[in-house]
Structure formats: C-alpha cells, structure tokens
Structure 1
C-alpha cells in the first residue's frame, strides 16, 4: 500500500470537536463494563462494542491488536483513523461507551474505506442505543 492512496486526516477546528481526555475510556474497569453487556457491530475490518454510560459524553476505547496488525505504523494509522472518525461523530454518539477492536483486513484497507466502515458502525451503535432506551 502506498501513501498516495490514503487521504489526509483533517484536524479539529473547534474546541468541542477535540478528542479530549474525557472522551477516552481509561482503565480496565471501564473496558470491562463495556465488554460485559455490549451491543456488537461486526464486519471484516472491525468489531465495535457499545454500551450506554451514565455520562453525557461519548467515550472511546481502542483495542488495536498487534496479532492482527504487525507493523506499528499501521496500528498507529488505524488508531488515528478511528479517533478521527469518532471525533467527527461524537455528538451523535453521546451517552455511549465504545470499544473498537481491529481485524486483520483493517491493516490492508485504505483510510477512506475505513472511514466508511466506521460510519456504519457508529450508526449501528446509535440504533442500538435507541433500542436500549426503549427497553427501560
């Protein structure tokens, strides 16, 4: 894969769009909470787990496995793409804790396709959250 096939990732323009410390899942307890009773969205590139949280802000956790993506540069690229896509959709995902796990196909996929794939996952998480609210 050449660098020319990857589109440049734009940076946050305003403070509310930034990927802040409060937007991250931190610690094993936070990840365990999501893994216990999560709604799942799967495809050939990612598995996305989402669960409602008690806060207003959406939080993201990344589990980018070395097993599925050997090169550190590719793992870092995947993390950047996931964080950027999450940042762009953060307002629509408010009140959710989300964990993204990679699969082997993600390492060979260009950024544009990864963004499209993640948009579908974000929609699935939104729909799952709406369904979860309806159950209570």
Structure 2
C-alpha cells in the first residue's frame, strides 16, 4: 500500500478545530492511543495530534510517536471517511516497542470507519 502525501489541507489546526472534535465526544481507544473524531464537511479526513510531555519528557520520543501517527494516517487516509481526527498518545506508547505501536496504529484506523 502506498502512502498518500500529506498536504496542508489534511492537517487539523487551530484551537477551534480541536475543540469541535472534542465536543463531539466520539472516541475510540486502542492500547496506546485515544482517537477523538467528528464528522467533517470536507471531502477528506484531517489529522490532529496531541503528544504531551506527560507521555514522555524526552522530545525525541514524542517526535517519534508523532512521525508514526502521521505515517500511519497517510497509509489509511484514502480509506477513511470524512472525519476530523485527533490522536492522543497514552504514556504507555513511549515505553512500547516501535513494532507494537505501529501495529496498534494500523489496527485502529479501520475501527474509525465503523
């Protein structure tokens, strides 16, 4: 499967956009992440991320998680419905092996379609 290119239009930005997703109160949990989502008026999915210092104090670990989230979203973007999605990392994600985190992300995207 080839990853789609992430464009500026596929990035959720701004406090108002994040708040709209959180107010919708639709969420799914995976082992290492919590996915908040809301229907979007656009014709494609958009991604927002929240990987705080509470997850890990080291920025290199937080940035690795962000890269993994972003890349897995690129792979799943074509199959996702029109959603605005905010992914929150759980502290367990920082301690988990990269392969497990990657598998968890790839397994979680199809559950948002349901």
> TM-score, normalised on structure 2?
0.92
Conserved? CA contact 1:57–1:94, under 8 Å: yes
Conserved? CA contact 1:39–1:125, under 8 Å: no
Higher CA-based Rg: 1
Residue 66 (structure 2) aligned to one of 56, 59, 79: 79
> TM-score, normalised on structure 1?
0.78
In 2, the alpha carbon distance for the partners of 1:56 and 1:111 equals: 32
1:25 aligns with 2:4: no
Query: Offset of 1:53 from its aligned partner?
Result: 0.2
In 2, the alpha carbon distance for the partners of 1:84 and 1:54 equals: 24
Paired residues for 1:48-59 under 5 Å: 48-59=35-46
- Structure 2, gaps ≥5 residues long: none
In 2, the alpha carbon distance for the partners of 1:118 and 1:38 equals: 20
Q: 4+ residue runs of structure 1 moved beyond 4 angstroms?
A: none
Q: Secondary structure at the match of 2:37?
A: strand
When the two chains are superposed, the root-mean-square deviation of aligned CA atoms in Å is: 1.4
In 1, the alpha carbon distance for the partners of 2:11 and 2:25 equals: 17
- Structure 1, gaps ≥5 residues long: 1-10, 128-136
Instruction: Specify the alignment match of 2:24 in structure 1.
Output: 37
